[in-house]
Amino acid sequence: MKIVRTIIYYLSSKDRQASETIQRFTVTFTPSMCDIKADETARMSLAFFSMRNSLLPVNANNNVFYVTVNGTRYTVVLPLGAWTVSQIATNVTTALNAAQAVTVFAVTCNNAQNYYGTWTWTGGATVSVSFPVVGSAIDVLGFSGATSLGASGYVTPRAMSTGQEPYIQLRCSLPAQNAEFNNKASPPQTGYTDVLANIPILVAPFSQIIYQPFTPEMFSWTMPSKGMKLGTIEFYMTDHNGTSITMVDDFDFSLRVDILRDEEGETLDLVRKSYEVQKLQLLHLDDILSR
């Protein structure tokens, strides 16, 4: 298909309605601004994205885990914020000891061990750790899943993490068209998704995220039928697991809308125009001869 015209929309979450939120709002694309003819197809793609990285690395999506001590399970909640791994280890220690009084925990993170977490506790208590489906601190703590820690001490199988998202997702309320791998499905499999773009976070907390895809087709969505208007579209942000995120700063983004037309349609148009020109020429010639 051939691009016959392009429109760039400069959009911002700050222009949302009073009843909407930063992470979920709607945009209405008026037909007068984006006229799509019956034989044309619209393709929408992310051209630019900018936002201050005010997303808390440790947040409501990754700050909860369970600890079971001598058969009794306790819920442990980590404080929200932007912490170093060493500070997170201290926070884990404080939260563990605040959640239960059976034993005294100490969690440390030794850089020489590639940021693995070392857990110790008193009294020879039997300890295990598990995680909720939503809000899991599994990556922050450096675990791979529910684990029995035994009764003497434990070193995590993975490095602890500050909790910063590797990327966030811009989604839209259009028929799912692109595909992603869903490891939560049974069995895990690829499936259609409403994700328009994955936006990498390559800066420190409170620095500016600026992202521009290398090609406009990298993150795009094409209308499923010719002549279909964009209408009103809801845009919303999630973390890399598809969970809604709390946002405190507005973001700006640019959408490129390409209007596409079949090459066959273009050829037919040329043939029609050529026929019309020839017809006019013949009429003109006939007029000259008749004189």
CA R_g for the chain: 28
CA distance 87 to 105: 15
Which pLDDT belongs to residue 268? 64
**Alpha-carbon gap, residue 15 to 27, rounded angstroms:** 9
Q: Give the CATH fold of the 2-55+165-265 domain.
A: Jelly Rolls (2.60.120)
pTM (predicted TM-score): 0.77
Task: Render pLDDT for 17-62 as a digit per residue (tens, 0 to 9).
Answer: 999 999 999 999 998 888 899 999 999 999 999 999 999 899 988 9
Give me the percent of the chain exceeding a pLDDT of 70: 95
Backbone phi and psi for residue 223, each to the nearest 5 degrees, phi listed first: -55, 140
- The domain locations on the chain are 2-55+165-265, 64-159
Q: What is the 3-state secondary structure (H, E, C) of 82-96?
A: CCCHHHHHHHHHHHH
**Distance between CA atoms of 181 and 195, rounded to whole angstroms?**
12
Average of per-residue pLDDT across 113-131: 92
Report whether 217 contacts 47 (CB < 8 A).
Answer: no
- pLDDT tens track for 269-291: 666 777 787 777 777 677 677 76
Nearest-angstrom CA–CA distance, 100 and 125: 12
Selection from 94, 98, 67 nearest residue 81 by Cα: 94
Residue 249: per-residue pLDDT:
95
Strand positions, DSSP E, the chain:
2-12, 24-29, 40-52, 64-69, 72-77, 105-110, 116-121, 127-130, 147-150, 154-159, 167-172, 178-182, 189-193, 195-200, 208-211, 220-222, 231-238, 251-261
The CA–CA distances, whole Å, from 16 to 12, 20, 164, 171, 208 equal: 8, 6, 27, 16, 21
- Quick count: other Cβ atoms within 10 Å of Cβ 41? 19
pLDDT at 186 over 90: no
Beta strand 116-121 pairing with 105-110? antiparallel
199-238 CB burial, b ≥16 within 10 A, e <16 = bebeeebeeebebebeebeebbbbbeebeeebeebebbbb
- What is the DSSP code string of 234-275? EEEEE-TTS-B----S-EEEEEEEEEEE-HHHHHHHHHHHHH
The mean predicted confidence, pLDDT, of the chain is: 89
